[in-house]
Chain A
Amino acid sequence: MDQKKLAIIATKGTLDWAYPPLILASTAAALGYETQIFFTFYGLQMVRKDLSVLKVSPLGNPGMPMKMPFGPKWFKGINWNIPNAVQSLVPGFESFATVLMKQTIKNNGVATIAELRSLCQEAEVKFIACQMTVELFGFDHSDFIDGMEYGGAATFFEFAGESDVCLFI
């Protein structure tokens, strides 16, 4: 049987949305898939050397539970339903939410983005950054981790056209 192939386009630049492409890519690699991720637009943020740019925003995201990662169980269970108007007015609300999210991730034994990213690279998942958006956003190749390749849409299709699974995330 030929080796299966997974092609992913990663387009989101928040802490929460950095998870799906990296979890799926690393798992696919462990299952024997040849895997590539094409990072474009905001997805470029998850392959920066500096990952502190990844934040999570509860603003305009009604699906996001706002729960505290500390205290007794009954306290952790409370969903802090804070109106958007309040969230947008409180300075640092996003940073606060990000700190809570990172603590929740840690408490649950979920890997960090940096960890998943290096697991992908160890498993030879190929990372390709969209050169057009790198330039559009004023990034330099030195902003990104080692081992990146740079290319465009045609580069993506060269692999994606042969893939068994192709995901836009």
Chain B
Amino acid sequence: MNFDKELDARGLNCPLPILRAKKTLGELGGGQVLKIIATDPGSVKDFAAFAKQTGNELLSTAEAGGEYTFFIKKK
């Protein structure tokens, strides 16, 4: 999937992946896509909740080898 910026949140724990994502999304324009890589298993539900509450669209969630990859489209 194409993306405009990537955030490496590996090794970070709640709530840091969300806080970093929020900050990084602030650097993007509307419609741009942020890729996030995290290792916190809690981030799967958290990014879904984050997207739902902020109106930014969670395009996809994937897990491979203990790493979670999210694509979020800025509102």
Contact = CB atoms under 8 A, between A and B. Distances in A.
B13 A110 contact: yes
A133 interface: no
Chain B interface size, as a band, is 10 to 19
Interface of B: 11-16, 18-19, 21-22, 39-40, 50, 53-54
A123 B22 CA distance: 10
Contacts of A27: 15, 18-19
A119 B19 contact: yes
Nearest to B12: A109
Nearest to A116: B15
B15 to A, nearest CB: 4
A111 B16 contact: yes
22 contacts: A23-B14, A23-B15, A26-B15, A26-B19, A27-B18, A27-B19, A30-B18, A30-B19, A30-B22, A30-B54, A31-B53, A108-B13, A109-B11, A109-B16, A110-B13, A110-B16, A111-B13, A111-B15, A111-B16, A119-B19, A123-B19, A123-B22
Chain A interface size, as a band, is 10 to 19
Nearest to A33: B53
A133 B16 CA distance: 31
A23 B13 CA distance: 11
A27 B18 CA distance: 7
Interface of A: 23, 26-27, 30-32, 108-111, 119, 123
Contacts of B13: 108-111
Contacts of B11: 109
Contacts of A111: 13, 15-16
B50 A31 contact: yes
Contacts of A32: 53-54
B65 to A, nearest CB: 17
A32 B51 CA distance: 11
Closest 10 CB pairs of A and B: A30-B22, A27-B15, A109-B13, A109-B11, A110-B13, A31-B53, A109-B12, A23-B15, A30-B19, A111-B16
B58 to A, nearest CB: 14
A142 to B, nearest CB: 29
A31 B19 CA distance: 9
